[in-house]
Amino acid sequence: MIALAVRNYRDRQAWECALSDRLASFAPDLIALAGFMRVLGPLCVTRFAGRMVNIHPSLLPLYPGLHPHRQALRAGASVHGATVHLVTREVDGGPRLAQIRVPIRKGDDEPALIERTKRAEHRLYPEVLEWIAQGRLVLTPDAVFQNGVKLTEPILVETLS
């Protein structure tokens, strides 16, 4: 785990440079972002292209960015979920590795949907990370391959009821 407070740096670019250097000092094969509520700039994204994944609480490309649960409820969606994707310069726009669906139930409010989606995320992310560790999924800067075949759609993991 790395903890670098933005407030300790003269600006965001200095913080990102320090973060990038700190990450590089570990020579990571993979960086898995979780609960990281900052948009990374081009320095980190480019430096670690094809080696950084994130989990987002929606069925991307639906509801990127902030408050995806609220967006889904306001849209009247009947299903929600989570997506593991490759981090690229486009926020929540990189190639999607896998998704898990979560039903939206009658009477759901935002806290209920957040909690159900978190349970799904906690199931999905470790599974996808294991696939990467096993070589079943291979990441490149702009694509994901499953058993040598380029993914054009995310792998759908069983729906969480």
Domain ranges of the chain: 30-157
Q: Do residues 47 and 117 lie in contact, with contact meaning Cβ atoms separated by under 8 Å?
A: no
Q: Global pTM?
A: 0.93
pLDDT of 161 reads 58
Phi, psi of 2 (to 5 degrees): -120, 130
* 51-90 pLDDT, tens digit each: 999 999 999 999 999 999 999 999 999 999 999 999 999 9
User: Can you state the angle between helices 110-134 and 68-75, rounded to 10 degrees?
Assistant: 120
* 88-138 pLDDT, tens digit each: 999 999 999 999 999 999 999 999 999 999 999 999 999 999 999 999 999
Residue 56 annotated among the catalytic residues of the structure: yes
Can you name the residues that pair with 146 across neighbouring β-strands? 137, 149
Q: Where residue 3 falls among pLDDT bands split at 50, 70, 90?
A: confident
Instruction: Confirm or reject CATH 3.40.710.10 for domain 30-157, answering yes or no.
Output: no
Q: DSSP 3-state assignment of 106? A: coil
* 5-51 pLDDT, tens digit each: 889 999 999 999 999 999 999 999 999 998 777 889 999 999 999 99
Query: Which residue has tokens 């806290």?
Result: 111
- CA distances, 112 to each of 71, 116, 135 (Å): 14, 6, 35
